Each structure stands twice: as C-alpha cells, then as structure tokens.
C-alpha cells in the first residue's frame, strides 16, 4: 500500500476486468503443437524445468557454449617446434537428471525420419516448359531466343527449370502420357547413337 494520499486516491478497483482470465493469460504457456512434448508437459512446473526434465534445451547459448580464443588463451604462449600431434582432452559433460528422456529420443527419431518431397511447380511454369520441350526438344539456346520468353531467361535457367520439371514425377508423368510415343522419338531427345 502506498503511503502518499494522492497515489492512494488514484487506486480504484476495476470491476470490469475478469481476474480469472487475466491470471490464465499470464500463466499460459501457449498451445504446444508437438504432441510428444504436450503429453509430458506438467502445468504446475515452469517452462525451463519442464524442458530440462525432457532433456531439451531452454537456452541454447548456455547448453552449447562457444569457446572464446582470447579468454582461453594460455599465459605463456611458447610454440613448440616438435612435430608431435596434440590431443585435446575432452571435458566430461555433467549429466542433468532427465526423468523424461523418451521425449528427446522420440523427437530425434522424428527428425531423422525420411520426408516425402511435396515440391510442385505452378501451372504457368509447367505450361511454359512443356511448350518449349514440344517445340525445341533439347535445344536450350533456341529456347532462350523464343518470342514467348518474356522473362528473358538464359538457356541455363531454362535448362534448370526443365530438369526440375523432369524430377517431379507427378508433372512429368502427365506430360509423357499426353504425348504420343512416336513424337518422343522424332524429337531431338535421342542422338544418332540412340542415347539420351
């Protein structure tokens, strides 16, 4: 309580504020999207304590410390001219008691799991590339001189887009299905030896 009368007079109880909602807003951590972490989370513990028990880092600057050259420099800096290998001693890391190590292991497994690439090209790029492939085959330099090349892309940029288009099976398989087989052999796709 304030001792000054003017400050005491200004203090008034605000009836329009929902104190329960205000308290929840202050103590709320936010929605945790990761199911593994949210299952093991304990509301009555702090964020730092929860993460430490799960084997996760709260502050990466404290967890992985960067060694400074100037601070760790020895006082007597005599260079040995012996051609011997110096082996650095590994400092043992203090084990933090983690009661929920399963969380860190599950997160590590999830990070190492293979992902399906969801790369897609926009429809305009697909139309542009298929038009060029139909008209010019593999002649990239003439593709660059095409009148529809409004972006003035170089032949190497066009070649890269075609490589990307061919690497996406959804786009390229549709393109191959829409084309008759005889047209594929008529193009410049094959050299005189019959190789691609």
Indicate whether 13 belongs to any domain.
no
Q: What is the pLDDT of residues 116-166, one digit of tens each?
A: 878 888 988 999 999 999 999 889 999 999 999 998 999 999 999 999 999
Domain extent at residue 180: 123-186
- For residues 42, 43, 49 and 51, what is the CA-based torsion angle, rounded to 10 degrees? 60
Q: With beta carbons less than 8 A apart as the criterion, state whether 138 and 149 touch.
A: no
Both 132 and 109 in a single domain?
Answer: no
pLDDT of 80 strictly over 60: no
User: Is the pLDDT higher at 5 or at 187?
Assistant: 5
* Mean pLDDT lowest among 13-17, 64-68, 76-80: 76-80
Q: What is the pLDDT of residues 90-113, one digit of tens each?
A: 555 556 667 788 898 999 999 999
Both 109 and 47 in a single domain?
Answer: yes
Both 107 and 132 in a single domain?
Answer: no
Both 128 and 175 in a single domain?
Answer: yes
Indicate whether 48 belongs to any domain.
yes
**What's the predicted TM-score (pTM) here?**
0.46
Q: pLDDT above 90 covers what percent of the chain?
A: 34
């Amino acid at each position: 309580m304030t001792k000054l009368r003017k400050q005491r007079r200004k203090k008034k109880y605000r009836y329009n504020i929902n104190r329960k909602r205000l308290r929840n807003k202050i103590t709320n951590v936010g929605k945790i999207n990761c199911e593994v972490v949210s299952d093991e989370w304990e509301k009555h513990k702090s964020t730092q304590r929860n993460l430490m028990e799960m084997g996760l880092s709260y502050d990466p600057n404290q967890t992985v410390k960067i060694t400074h050259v100037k601070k760790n420099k020895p006082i007597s800096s005599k260079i040995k001219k012996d051609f011997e290998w110096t082996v650095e001693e590994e400092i043992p890391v203090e084990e933090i008691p983690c009661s929920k190590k399963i969380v860190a292991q599950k997160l590590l497994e999830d990070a190492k799991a293979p992902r399906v690439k969801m790369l897609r090209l926009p429809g305009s790029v697909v139309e542009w590339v298929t038009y060029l492939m139909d008209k010019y085959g593999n002649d990239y330099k003439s593709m660059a001189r095409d009148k529809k090349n409004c972006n003035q892309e170089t032949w190497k940029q066009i070649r890269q887009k075609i490589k990307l288009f061919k690497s996406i099976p959804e786009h390229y398989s549709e393109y191959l299905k829409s084309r008759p087989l005889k047209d594929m052999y008529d193009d410049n796709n094959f050299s005189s030896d019959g190789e691609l």
